[in-house]
Amino acid sequence: MARKFSQLEAKMSPEAISRSDAHYREMVAEMPLHELRRARGVSQEMLAKELHIKQPNVAKMEKRTDIYISTLRSAIEAMGGTLDIVARFPDGSVKISNFSSIEESAGTGSSDASTD
């Protein structure tokens, strides 16, 4: 007989609950694109419709290990999210801004001219 997680959790020690919560946070902090889509409750057909492509193309995109940033951004935005590219270094993190969407760049009044 299946039991609710809340029933099982009620029998767990505080330490076990803490470990379980930490493990859960690790699992959801990093996942492949197809798992993210499923976790967001979006089917391949729904995503294909949002991206104006066919469902088999979504399946191919999810299997790729190399993908254009613009394609990934479109998929994430179609699922209701935003994509940030961040470089992490021992002394801190930096958000890489030249991958911002065209709409964001147009709204900031930035130009392509270098100021170096």
Contact present, 58 and 44 (Cβ < 8 Å): yes
Residue 101 has a pLDDT of: 55
In this prediction, residues 109-115 reach a mean pLDDT of 39
Q: Which fold has domain 32-108?
A: 434 Repressor (Amino-terminal Domain) (1.10.260)
Phi, psi of 86 (to 5 degrees): -125, 130
Closest CA to 99 of 59, 78, 71, 79: 71
Asked whether residue 109 carries a pLDDT value surpassing 50, the answer given is no
Strands 92-95 and 86-89: antiparallel
Q: pLDDT tens digits, residue range 68-81?
A: 999 999 999 999 99
Reply yes or no on whether the pLDDT at 113 is more than 80.
no
Supply the pLDDT for residue 51: 97
The 10s digit of each residue's pLDDT in 2-49 is 778 788 888 888 898 888 888 777 776 788 999 999 989 999 999 999
Domain ranges of the chain: 32-108
